[in-house]
Structure 1
Amino acid sequence: MATNYSSFLCFPFGFVLVLFLLGCSSKKVEANGFKELTANVHHQSHVIALSSLMPAKVCATPAKVSGAEILSKPLQVAHKYGPCSPLKKGATTTPSLHQILLDDQTRVKYLNSKTSNNQATFQDSAVTIPANSGQSIGTGNFVVKIGFGTPKQEFRVVFDTGSDLTWIQCQPCAVQCYSQQDPYFNPSASSTYSNISCHSNACKQLRSATGNSRACARTCIYQIGYGDGSYSVGNYARDKLTLSSSDFFPKFRFGCGQNNQGLFGTADGLLGLGRNKVSIVSQTAQKYGKIFSYCLPSTTSSTGYLAFGSKAGTTSRIHYTPLLKDSRGPSFYFLNMTSISVGGKKLAISPSVFTISGTIIDSGTVITRLAPKAYSALKSAYRKAMSKYPTAPAYSILDTCYNLSGYSTVTVPTIVLHFGGGTSLNVDQSGILVQASSTQYCLAFAGNSAATDLGILGNMQQQTFEILYNVAGGKLGFGARGCS
């Protein structure tokens, strides 16, 4: 089918997309279980072999979905830089932890700007979009494989709960495209491809989701920018989306990128898992009921999964907390964090500390961010439990570090995050300690600079759990040993 590129916008733009998911280099360790803690907790510490934090070179056995089957074949999730990566070896350079943390901070600033009334804007006669300066981004992402078109063309894309629009790069790349893993999508080779009209309801929904207020004559144009200066612009289109041999959607709406630039690595595009009507969660609601889950592996040498469907979470290991909405960020997934326990003891933190900022769960933020008072209490308790180990200087945003040269194992206290509904997340040991250098190891949490900054449950603290989003039911679940 013919493709119309005549109404194309050829500008670079930017505000942020940092899809950084840190694949901690550790051997796979099972979570200690998901349970609500009381004053008497039997398991109060983890013993971690420091050798388990060294990167592995061999891909482990692929993960299986915990509980009932969801998709006929759940999408395998792999870290881009590990031996399980579906991307070509040598195509990208693994960033240092220092760079990952810089990038993570950029994303956190972006998320806060989206919930603030004080966003800076870039304006010209055709467009008004948020514009923020930020560090250059890498792509320490988790990648899944999907298909577009008839016949199917396959693509490796990163997924993000903090974004809505799904897009891929398309031929003929009317302006420019960055280098990617697979051939660019060829709309002319798909018998089911069509552009979306500028005056359609679908285009109006797109404008609502992206802030795109650009006038157009024929084809609906999407434009999305990210704070490091990266961007994607193209035709808003429909085509067949294939997730598995029995899971496909004939008229899925997505961005067919014709002007794309930035540090996206060699991934082919983005899969948006936010709450807006343009996201895959909303577009597949009739089949999947706005339910999806994923499990992020604890190491770059192992795999997880992304799955959709109403059968998710039938295992008794899933425990739920209310999934909240907040007008400051209607596409984000808000949770009610209530308290924190360290080493089996609940910290003296007023619940108001968490309600002032609000807390979201985000697949793209690496390190969990806490309100200053909450982080101060966590840091104090953690340091007390680790007092026998020599301290080390701060590393980037991580200010609670230890020199563990001469040690083969280390005993760290358990950290449990408590949420509304009596639900608690007993953070896996892979989400507590991160290796900064051959001898330096740091607490993998960070404090916000202001009490009103968003609290964020990062992906490092989500590792090994099945994270189940029942968007229609208004609840989010955690299931231990989700990748096993």
Structure 2
Amino acid sequence: MNNLLNIITTIICVWLSWSSADGAQKRENEEVSFHRIQTSSLFPSSSAPCVLSPTASNTKSSLRVAHRYGPCSSLRTSPDHDDILRLDQARVKSIHSNLSKKPTARDRISQSQSTDLQAREGFTLGSGNYIVTVGIGTPKHDLSLVFDTGSDLTWTQCEPCIGSCYTQKDPIFNPSSSSSYSNISCSSPVCDSFASQTRRKYCSASNCAYLIGYGDNSSTSGYLSKEKITLTNTDVFDNINFGCGQSNSGLFNGSAGLLGLGRGKSSFPSQTVMKYNNIFSYCLPSSPKYTGHLTFGTSGGLSSSLKYTSVSTVHESASLYGLDIVGISVDDKELEIPLTVFTTAGSIIDSGTVTTRLPPKAYAALRTAFKEKMLNYTTTLGRSILDTCYDFTGLETVEIPKVSFSFKGGTVVELDAIRVLYAFKMSQVCLAFAGNDKDDDLAIFGNIQQKTMQVVYDGPGDRVGFAPNGCM
């Protein structure tokens, strides 16, 4: 009898041990497929001091990157989420609109007074962008510029503002006070080259001019010029082509202009190819209280964890960095999205678009899978372009399912919670993705999804690389 009891006891103990181990394994797997976060981390204090990125200060070819809203920004403007998303949608619509247009006879190069021509439509800057401080002129004049991988021409507002200038935080650049400033002649090959990119040639008397209109009715026009550009004490460049804006208007939110990082010939990386070999990288901080960095060349060191995907040409645009999305996973499970959904639309990576845009079928699949993993949380009304939102009131922690993007070449980018969510307030935290209106609208990998990663643009290799833990 005792032997029988001993056998039964042993069997029960073994069964309990197996059950315990199985449960522990399930919990372990569950934690691997979810990101558990403190809800308070979604809302950094507006009074928090700026925390500087060590990378930018230790690398001679690096600039500090700051979100325009927060203690690290020299602009120190107040965020308005509805404005951010409204302008973000305007930027996306202008990108889609531009890429859907075919060149017409009126787009051919013609020489005329710039005031007689309509603006060439560009991309809306939006308001959820990141800024860097760049020195222009001799003596150096420090200016806060939005940096944008979707634009080529670097420009700033210039005195005497013959037309008009919007309000900016820094003093407006005065070219007459700079000994290194010069206008570019309308007969210059540089002017012809710029005209070939924009499909029009603008001249004001004998000077080469430019005119760019953005999708939100903002615009800048002025003289195409040459000037000294200072990044750091050791990285100074003479005769950089830039736009000296004499008539500027719109929603530039206090910045002095734009640093163009696109693929075109007039972009800053293209003009500094002899120094940096057309390679640059950046890391966008996790919240406005931190700084990130924009680094030119490879002297700052590239992460050993980098995984690259090839850059593809997007329609007829020579400026945009096209990427090939091949799949999306939620909770480590690849969604059933036909590859043709992505190839029909095409995709780009863009520093100026806030939330990632997806083809309608891809977004529907992502939203459905995300909702299934969030059934334990209270849903709430959507807001602006974001339609999948939750009320986290009273919760100290939440578990957010992993979302991963797969790109051509086997590169997988895993997104943690801060790159999956857009937090308005504790009672309204939303999935930070949106669907496009049409199946053939371009997909855009936005800047929320790029946060804290080292993102490398390798021009000679025609590739973009991603590595985790690039900054805080």
Give 1:47's aligned residue: 36
| Contact 1:292–1:312 (CA under 8 A) maintained in structure 2 | no
Distance 1:121-1:393 versus aligned 2 partners, 3 A rule = farther
Give 1:468's aligned residue: 456
Give the counterpart of 1:375 among 363, 374, 378: 363
The size of the alignment, in residue pairs, is 437
Aligned equivalents of 1:48, 1:444: Cα separation in 2: 16
| Contact 2:61–2:296 (CA under 8 A) maintained in structure 1 | no
| Contact 1:114–1:329 (CA under 8 A) maintained in structure 2 | no
Aligned equivalents of 1:117, 1:393: Cα separation in 2: 35
Give the percent of matched residue pairs that are identical in Structure 1 and Structure 2. Answer: 45
Q: Does structure 1 residue 145 correspond to structure 2 residue 133? A: yes
SS at structure 2 position matched to 1:462 = coil
Q: Does structure 1 residue 236 correspond to structure 2 residue 224? A: yes
Give the deviation of 1:64 after TM superposition: 3.1
Give the deviation of 1:326 after TM superposition: 2.7
Give the counterpart of 2:176 among 185, 188, 192: 188
Distance 1:265-1:314 versus aligned 2 partners, 3 A rule = closer
Give the counterpart of 1:255 among 243, 266, 270: 243
Q: Structure 2: which 5+ residue stretches go unaligned?
A: 1-28, 108-113
Aligned equivalents of 1:42, 1:232: Cα separation in 2: 50
Please give the residue correspondences for 1:17-416 in structure 2 after superposition, counting only pairs within 5 Å: 43-56=32-45, 57-65=47-55, 72-87=60-75, 89=76, 92-95=77-80, 97-117=81-101, 126-130=116-120, 139-311=127-299, 314-416=302-404
Aligned equivalents of 2:132, 2:385: Cα separation in 1: 29
Give the deviation of 1:317 after TM superposition: 1.4
Distance 1:133-1:294 versus aligned 2 partners, 3 A rule = closer
- Amino acid of the residue matched to residue 408 of structure 1? E
Aligned equivalents of 2:354, 2:122: Cα separation in 1: 20
Q: Structure 1: which 5+ residue stretches go unaligned?
A: 1-39
- Amino acid of the residue matched to residue 98 of structure 1? D
Give the deviation of 1:311 after TM superposition: 3.8
| Deviation sequence 1:354-384 (CA, Å, 0-9, x none) | 1110010000111101111111111111111
SS at structure 1 position matched to 2:54 = coil
Give the deviation of 1:113 after TM superposition: 1.4
Aligned equivalents of 2:115, 2:248: Cα separation in 1: 21
Give the deviation of 1:405 after TM superposition: 2.2
Distance 1:138-1:361 versus aligned 2 partners, 3 A rule = closer
Give the deviation of 1:118 after TM superposition: 5.8
Give the deviation of 1:98 after TM superposition: 2.0
Distance 1:313-1:382 versus aligned 2 partners, 3 A rule = farther
Name the stretch that deviates more: 283-292 or 325-334: 325-334
Give the deviation of 1:408 after TM superposition: 1.8
| Deviation sequence 1:187-212 (CA, Å, 0-9, x none) | 12211111101011111122233343
The RMSD of aligned alpha carbons is 2.4
| Deviation sequence 1:22-46 (CA, Å, 0-9, x none) | xxxxxxxxxxxxxxxxxx9982101
- Relative to the length of structure 2, the TM-score reads 0.87
| Contact 2:310–2:409 (CA under 8 A) maintained in structure 1 | yes
Name the stretch that deviates more: 112-121 or 42-51: 112-121
| Contact 2:60–2:232 (CA under 8 A) maintained in structure 1 | yes
Give the deviation of 1:61 after TM superposition: 2.7
Please tell me whether Structure 1 or Structure 2 has the larger radius of gyration of its CA atoms.
Answer: 2
Aligned equivalents of 1:319, 1:230: Cα separation in 2: 37
- Amino acid of the residue matched to residue 91 of structure 2? R
| Contact 2:202–2:211 (CA under 8 A) maintained in structure 1 | no
Distance 1:62-1:125 versus aligned 2 partners, 3 A rule = closer
SS at structure 1 position matched to 2:449 = helix
Give the deviation of 1:313 after TM superposition: 5.4
Give the deviation of 1:60 after TM superposition: 4.1
Aligned equivalents of 2:300, 2:344: Cα separation in 1: 32
| Contact 2:120–2:212 (CA under 8 A) maintained in structure 1 | no
| Contact 2:61–2:299 (CA under 8 A) maintained in structure 1 | no
- Amino acid of the residue matched to residue 53 of structure 2? A
SS at structure 2 position matched to 1:391 = strand
| Contact 1:122–1:128 (CA under 8 A) maintained in structure 2 | no
SS at structure 2 position matched to 1:179 = coil
| Contact 1:343–1:413 (CA under 8 A) maintained in structure 2 | yes
Aligned equivalents of 2:123, 2:412: Cα separation in 1: 37
- Amino acid of the residue matched to residue 460 of structure 1? I
| Deviation sequence 1:3-28 (CA, Å, 0-9, x none) | xxxxxxxxxxxxxxxxxxxxxxxxxx
Aligned equivalents of 1:302, 1:132: Cα separation in 2: 30
Q: Which structure's relative contact order is higher, taking Cα pairs within 8 Å and 6+ residues apart?
A: 1
Give the deviation of 1:247 after TM superposition: 0.5
| Deviation sequence 1:218-265 (CA, Å, 0-9, x none) | 110111111222111111111111101111111100011111111212
Give the deviation of 1:147 after TM superposition: 0.7
SS at structure 2 position matched to 1:352 = helix
Aligned equivalents of 2:434, 2:400: Cα separation in 1: 17
| Contact 2:391–2:426 (CA under 8 A) maintained in structure 1 | no
Give the deviation of 1:216 after TM superposition: 4.6
Aligned equivalents of 2:376, 2:412: Cα separation in 1: 28
Aligned equivalents of 2:347, 2:211: Cα separation in 1: 28
| Contact 1:133–1:229 (CA under 8 A) maintained in structure 2 | no
Give the deviation of 1:329 after TM superposition: 2.0
| Contact 2:126–2:352 (CA under 8 A) maintained in structure 1 | no
